[in-house]
Amino acid sequence: AAFLLPVLAKRSSKKIVHMLCLLAGGAGLISIYFIHTQLWLLLPMLGMGLAWASILTMPYALLASSLPQEKMGYYMGVFNFFIVIPQIVSGLLLGW
């Protein structure tokens, strides 16, 4: 499904695709409460997979389209710090 996100983003917009994927993930999470059959749990997992694919790709695509080309590497590096540093801190501290 992640390979379809750029195709959908070209047809509409990156913001709309990201919003729809996040809504699909939210609906999938909420629907887990109402599902009592193991086989039907595959459907919410599809929605959550769409949201996960969008979370990993669309913020970078949104940022890259709004940055000046001469400063792209700097701003993408700073943006990546805000993603990686909390992951490192949580990995080191929350395991205890």
How do residues 32-84 score in pLDDT, each as one tens digit? 999 999 999 999 999 999 999 999 889 988 998 889 999 999 999 999 999 89
The residue with tokens 């992951």 is: 87
The torsion angles phi and psi of 36, rounded to 5 degrees, stand at: -120, 5
Q: What is the mean pLDDT of residues 18-42?
A: 95
| Half-sphere exposure for 17 (CA within 13 Å, toward CB) | 25
Report pLDDT for 20: 95
Q: What is the mean pLDDT of residues 3-19?
A: 92
Report pLDDT for 29: 97
Does the pLDDT value for residue 96 go beyond 80?
no
Instruction: Tell me how crowded residue 15 is: count the other CB atoms within 10 A of its CB.
Output: 11
Report pLDDT for 91: 93
Under 8 Å CB-to-CB from 48, ≥6 apart: which residues? 24, 25, 28, 29
Q: Which amino acid is at 23?
A: L
The rounded distance, in Å, linking the Cα atoms of 20 and 26 is: 10
